[in-house]
Homo-oligomer: A and B are copies of this chain.
């Protein structure tokens, strides 16, 4: 029997690399989807390619998205500064300036179109409601509402075939995610998380994304294999 196809959103970050490994573990034929939307950290896309190659995906489509759709986010606008060195409390409160308008809605809508073209009914996305509770479109109630809408939107849904949005990371801490990924053999050296990297892809170690990542590795009792601008920050967080 041939395996079912799944469309997996792969950003190039730690979370989506783990999701891809989990979908492979579940036996799906993997079809990866990434987006190029003028994000500052385009080394994410190179990371996405490395991750997909290592996971042996059947297809990997990188969809260009018009950055005018996403005006007003620190991730796409050079005029808005990426926050640095914020406390855990500050990171966890309110909607961050790094929020990109309707991003997960757009990503999942695209994944739904790709899935329908492939006769796939399973979508995987690495949203997480623990570490990034500030993003409205990472919450389980958003995912549930999207799934319900997707069933009404599609040819498959009309014929009674359930469309499923899998969010295997939604209630895991960053440390849990890293532990699970390491068990599945994910090479986190291929991934990229920093919002504000050097030109050669070296991570800053101070933006929200780096801090959550470093904290996760520290709590998982593992060493983050990627390169940081200042080893001192890594050591400090790692020694918690």
- Could you tell me if A136 and B149 are in contact, using CB atoms closer than 8 angstroms? no
- Could you tell me if A142 and B152 are in contact, using CB atoms closer than 8 angstroms? yes
The quantity of this chain's copies bound in the complex is: 2
Interface assignment of A148: CB less than 8 Å from any CB of chain B = yes
- Residues of B near A95 (CB, < 8 A) are 155, 158
Per DSSP, chain A at the interface is helix
Chain A, 106-151, CB within 8 A of any chain B CB: 106, 108-110, 112-117, 136-137, 139, 141-142, 145-146, 148-150
User: Given the known A-B contacts A110-B106, A139-B152, A148-B145, are A101 and B72 also in contact in the complex, defined by CB atoms under 8 Å?
Assistant: no
- Residues of B near A145 (CB, < 8 A) are 145, 148-149, 152-153
A72 to B145, CA, bound (A): 26
User: Given the known A-B contacts A136-B157, A139-B152, A141-B152, are A69 and B104 also in contact in the complex, defined by CB atoms under 8 Å?
Assistant: no
Which of B63, B106, B152 meets A113, CB within 8 Å?
B106
A115 to B116, CA, bound (A): 26
- Residues of B near A69 (CB, < 8 A) are 61, 63, 110, 113-114, 117
| Distance from A192 Cβ to chain B, minimum over Cβ atoms (Å) | 22
A128 to B19, CA, bound (A): 38
- Residues of B near A71 (CB, < 8 A) are 117
A228 to B106, CA, bound (A): 37
How many of A's residues come within 8 Å of B, CB to CB? 44
Can you report 16 residue pairs joining A to B where beta carbons are below 8 Å apart?
A: A68-B114, A102-B115, A105-B154, A106-B109, A106-B112, A106-B113, A136-B154, A136-B155, A136-B158, A137-B153, A137-B154, A139-B152, A142-B152, A145-B153, A146-B153, A148-B149
Listed in ascending order, the chain A residues whose CB lies under 8 Å from chain B are 61, 63-66, 68-72, 95, 99-106, 108-110, 112-117, 136-137, 139, 141-142, 145-146, 148-150, 152-155, 157-158
